[in-house]
Amino acid sequence: MTTPIMTVSDLHKTYGKPGTKQYEALKGIDFDVQPGEFVGIMGASGSGKTTLLNMLATLDKPTSGEVTIHQQPITHLKGNQLADFRAKEIGFIFQDFNLLETMTAFENIALPLTLQNVASKKIKPAVEAVATQLGIAEFLNNYPNELSGGQKQRVAAAQALINEPAMLFGDEPTGALDSKSARELLDLFTKINQERAVSILLVTHDPFSASYCQRILFIKDGRIGQELHRGEQSRADFYQQILDNLGTFEQ
Amino acid sequence: MLTKLAMTGFKNRWRDYLVLFSGLIMSSAIFYMFEALATNQEFLKQNSSISMIGIIFQFGAVLLTIITLVYISYANSFLLSMRKRDYGLFMLVGARKGKIGQLIWLETLLVGISATIVGIILGTALTAGIGKLLINTLDLTLHHFAFWHTPAAIATLLLYVGLFLLAGLFNLITLTKTPALKLLHSNEQPNRPRLKPVRQLIEIILGLILVAIGYWAMANLALLNITGIGLALVTIVLGTYFLFNAIFVWLMLFLKRLSAGQRGLNGFTLSQLSFRIRNYTKMLSIVAMLFALALGAITVGMGFHAQTPLMANGNSAYDMGVVDANATEKRQIAKLKPVKKATYHFKADKKAVYYLASEFDQQPFTITEMTSQAQLDYHQKALKSAALSKSHDLYQLMQLQTSDRQRTAPVFLSATAYAKLPQKEQQLTIFATKDLMANLDGLKDLATLRQQRDKGIAKGLLGGRYGSYKLVNGMYSGLEFMGLFLGIAFLAMLASCLMFKILSGADADQHRYVMLDKIGATQKQRRQAINKEIAVLFVLPGIVGVIHVLFGLQMFKLMMIASPYSGIWLPFLIFAGLYLLYYLITINIYHRIVLR
Ligand SMILES: Nc1ncnc2c1ncn2[C@@H]1O[C@H](COP(=O)(O)OP(=O)(O)O)[C@@H](O)[C@H]1O
Ligand SMILES: [Mg+2]
């Protein structure tokens, strides 16, 4: 057994200040992610998926529990350490294309590097390499409003990957895409997962998206209820298994 | 129900409304301040020796109205940017358009009118406060100055209510004619910054020509008269607009290519700026103009102020003369620690004042002689009786005599001739302090003492350096006051204008800075990005404004005796300080909106 790239132990999150109306969105979550693994988190709307992802990706702080990435505890990171960690170790892709509409695709992708004051000589080849891999090399000079949803999501993926992060987080990244673009993006995730050996954590409520993962954790009422492994199954079979599982799980 | 919803939106964003509200109050207060002077005909007539002043004020009023128009449209777009989302949502949940239109209309008018009323009250207080402050610190004498002037209040109210009716109508049309979804996602579309060399070259040439015409008109005001001011205003505003339009894009693209333009968030900041170019150039040219007007007004005001002692010093070498000083007066003179003092005996009849020539040979009388009228250069010369009697600066001795003898010529006699005169002998004490301006209070007391015996002094026949000072000060007080007062008003206006334009973009920026945070930009990097972006927007019109002022001061060569450029650093420094203060306030509010 290798050392996991990410460990999550006894994670709790309660919304609302003590004394006011409180809501416990996460009630103790435990799991690990191995290096290079493609993990899905599935659950109905309101089950706590986004809440969990925000804790894992340092976007919010848990009420209790710990998350480590590369053996480094991350829940207490603050200020510059936190910013550095975000810039170097992780990348995100959200449903609503996290691109700056004031900058071209190239500038958007390069942003994490310029933030680290990487020399512009090194930036150009790095951006071009990742853009070529993701099939958006020809759109580098376009502004986000000149791109389709699928292209935007690929630019966002390129931006997330430019710093060669250890983990890539996606919160319903296909949520705003048509089925063809969604399929292309998921194929791309599989490709970068294999070629770059980057670990991916994908949050989704959609069984089709989930079927691209190697392992799926089902979350319900703030707890992980069940786990499915794809193993050697074809994707179509795995998809069927997920659907069957959902039927019983949601009851 | 909908009204309730609207109110909750209002409550959630009370902080932003506070910014909007205080900005509108400021603007109407400033407009009132200006109108309080501009509509007060008595005040203008009594306080300026320049016949053009009324027309200058009318130009100013037109200009300020245009600026107010622009200002309100910015403030309104700020209001609209805050409300679009809310109203979009109401429409999505099925609220009737008519009902929403009513709400918007009401909201705009309510915000506008209440701000205007508070603004007029504040404007009255400011007019009184600034007026008092200027009058006291600068020792000004003003006639018919009133901080409450009903026509000014009416003018302010009419203009603002009118403008807000228009703004309400505009909001109603934009919000009800735009589909709900568009309101929900109404982000500005980027303008791709493009270099169009031919067009930009034409813009640069046109801009330069227009600005040159404006500068020429200001330097040749003597030739063009009033048309010159109008011409200069129009050509300079237009010229500045073209220049900003052409140079801004080019500048941003150029800076982006520099390696420093790629470091940290600099690239982001430059993109932000070029993204908003179209929006900003109009405002920047207006702000540059306002900047020039404000700085120019303050400089001219202070120029008049600096000129007063210069002119007084050029008029006489002695502060005052006292005839037959009594014990109290002698004590008062001693208290002033004179650096120069002389006492001459004389006898006087209707035709002349007779002095002993020998006394003037022992204690020569110092005259000041102008070497160049325009530059106020003078030197002092001590003259004995023979030279003095022939000098055309003899009037300087005459003015030191009692008020009834200011026009009676001095005659210098030998001791024998003097002894034969039957009149009673009297004694004239003249003196000069080290620094006139430092001893104004003591001299005033002495003048009051003298007035008990010499009633003519009350009519301004005081004589000497102090007398000239009083005379010149009376003449310039009005101009000085108007200059400083208007300068402060314009500055406040321009800074609020700039502040609003910038703040109305803050809302759209919020999600960008959230994204930067997620990507790993540190708090410091984000703060600095904001500081830099706003600094550019403050500095650019500032530089252009300073250039405009330097040329604009040419106009005052006509009215001012000393060069309008002398001592220019002081108003510039004060202005820079105030401007910096506005910058700091703006970035502070921006940080609070964007980085919360
Ligand atoms: N900031 C918040 N404050 C209070 N409750 C929240 C907040 N964010 C989410 N919740 C609640 O936590 C639960 C889980 O939400 P979320 O993680 O967004 O669900 P999912 O992404 O699975 O749809 C929901 O019931 C939601 O109402
Ligand atoms: Mg969610």
The predicted pLDDT at position B182 comes to 65
Long-range contacts of B44-50 (CB under 8 A, 24+ apart): B46/B143, B46/B144, B46/B478, B47/B142, B47/B143, B47/B144, B47/B145, B47/B477, B47/B478, B47/B479, B47/B481, B47/B482, B48/B478, B48/B479, B48/B482, B49/B475, B50/B479, B50/B559
Orientation angle between helical segments B14-38 and B150-177, nearest 10 degrees: 140
Fold of A36-59+79-249: Rossmann fold (3.40.50)
Identify the band that residue B312 occupies on the pLDDT scale cut at 50, 70 and 90.
confident
Residues of B whose CB is below 8 A from A98: 515, 518-519
Lowest mean pLDDT of A2-16, B85-99, B255-269, B328-342, name the range: B85-99
Q: What is the residue extent of each domain of chain B? A: 1-189, 191-304+477-596, 317-462
Chain B residue closest in CA terms to A80: B522
Closest approach atom of ligand 1 to CA A171: 21
- pLDDT tens, N- to C-terminus, chain A (251 residues): 688 999 999 999 999 888 888 888 999 899 999 999 999 999 888 889 999 999 998 888 999 999 999 889 998 888 888 888 888 889 988 877 678 888 899 999 998 888 888 888 889 999 999 999 888 999 999 988 888 888 998 899 999 989 888 899 999 888 888 888 889 889 988 998 988 889 999 999 899 999 999 999 999 888 898 888 988 888 899 999 988 888 776 65
C-alpha A219 – ligand 1 centre gap (Å): 13
- The per-residue DSSP string of B240-277 comes to HHHHHHHHHHHHHHHHHHSSGGGSTTHHHHHHHHHHTH
C-alpha B253 – ligand 1 centre gap (Å): 43
- Quick check: B458 pLDDT over 70? no
Q: Are B428 and B406 in contact (CB under 8 A)?
A: no
Cβ <8 Å between A92 and B275: no
Tokens of B513: 């800075």
- The phi and psi torsions of B272 (rounded to 5 degrees) equal -55, -45
Chain B residue closest in CA terms to A121: B259
Closest approach atom of ligand 1 to CA A44: 22
The predicted pLDDT at position B559 comes to 63
Q: Which value does ipTM take for this structure?
A: 0.86
- Quick check: B507 pLDDT over 80? no
The predicted pLDDT at position A211 comes to 92
Tell me what the pLDDT averaged over chain B comes to.
81
DSSP A98: -
The predicted pLDDT at position A38 comes to 93
The predicted pLDDT at position B130 comes to 81
Q: What is the residue extent of each domain of chain A? A: 36-59+79-249
pTM as predicted:
0.76
Amino acid at site B588: N
- Chain B closest-CA separation from residue A233 CA (Å): 36
